[in-house]
Structure 1
Amino acid sequence: MMDDTNKPDTAGADAEIEKELEGVPEHMLGDEDDAEEESEPDLSAELEQLRNDLAEAKQETLYARADTQNVRRRMEKDVADARTYAATGFARDILSVADNLSRAVESIPEALREDEKFKGLVAGIEATQRELTKVFGQHGVERIAAMGLPLDPNQHQAMMEVPTDEHDPGTIVQEMQAGYMIKDRLLRPAMVGVAKKPD
Structure 2
Amino acid sequence: MTDENKNEPHEKAVDDEMAREMEGVPEHLRDDGPGEEDNSLEDALANLKGDLDKAMQDVLYARAETQNVRRRLEKDVQDARNYGATSFARDILSVADNLSRALDHVPEDLRESDKAKNFIAGIEATMRELEKVFAQNGITRIAAQGMPLDPNQHQAMMEVPTDEAEPGTIVQEMQAGYMIRDRLLRPAMVGVAKKPD
What's the TM-score once normalised by structure 1's chain length? 0.83
Match of 1:161 in 2: 159
Match of 2:84 in 1: 86
Tell me which of 133, 136, 141 is aligned to 2:134.
Answer: 136
Query: Equivalent residues in 2 for 1:1-199 (5 A)?
Result: 35-199=33-197
Measured in 1, the distance between the counterparts of 2:164 and 2:81 equals 45
- Sort the Cα spacing of 1:52 and 1:166 in 2 relative to 1 into closer, same or farther, 3 A: same
For residue 36 of structure 1, report the CA deviation from its aligned partner: 4.1
* Count of aligned pairs between the two proteins: 177
Preserved CA contact (<8 Å) 2:31 2:37: no
- Alpha-carbon displacement from aligned partner over 1:115-140 (angstroms, at most 9, x marks no partner): 11111001000000000000011111
For residue 55 of structure 1, report the CA deviation from its aligned partner: 1.2
Measured in 1, the distance between the counterparts of 2:32 and 2:74 equals 63
SS in 1 for 2:52: helix
Measured in 1, the distance between the counterparts of 2:125 and 2:80 equals 31
Amino acid at match of 1:182: I
Measured in 2, the distance between the counterparts of 1:76 and 1:33 equals 58
SS in 2 for 1:193: strand
Structure 1 unaligned regions, length at least 5: 1-7, 22-31
Match of 1:28 in 2: none
SS in 1 for 2:146: coil
SS in 2 for 1:157: strand
Preserved CA contact (<8 Å) 2:159 2:191: yes
Measured in 2, the distance between the counterparts of 1:33 and 1:121 equals 105
- Alpha-carbon displacement from aligned partner over 1:130-167 (angstroms, at most 9, x marks no partner): 00000011111111000000000000000000000010
SS in 2 for 1:35: coil
Measured in 2, the distance between the counterparts of 1:177 and 1:115 equals 29
Runs of at least 4 residues off by over 3 Å: none
Preserved CA contact (<8 Å) 2:162 2:194: yes
Match of 2:25 in 1: none
- Sort the Cα spacing of 1:119 and 1:14 in 2 relative to 1 into closer, same or farther, 3 A: closer
Measured in 2, the distance between the counterparts of 1:61 and 1:139 equals 42
For residue 35 of structure 1, report the CA deviation from its aligned partner: 2.4
For residue 49 of structure 1, report the CA deviation from its aligned partner: 1.6
The percent identity for this pair of structures is 68
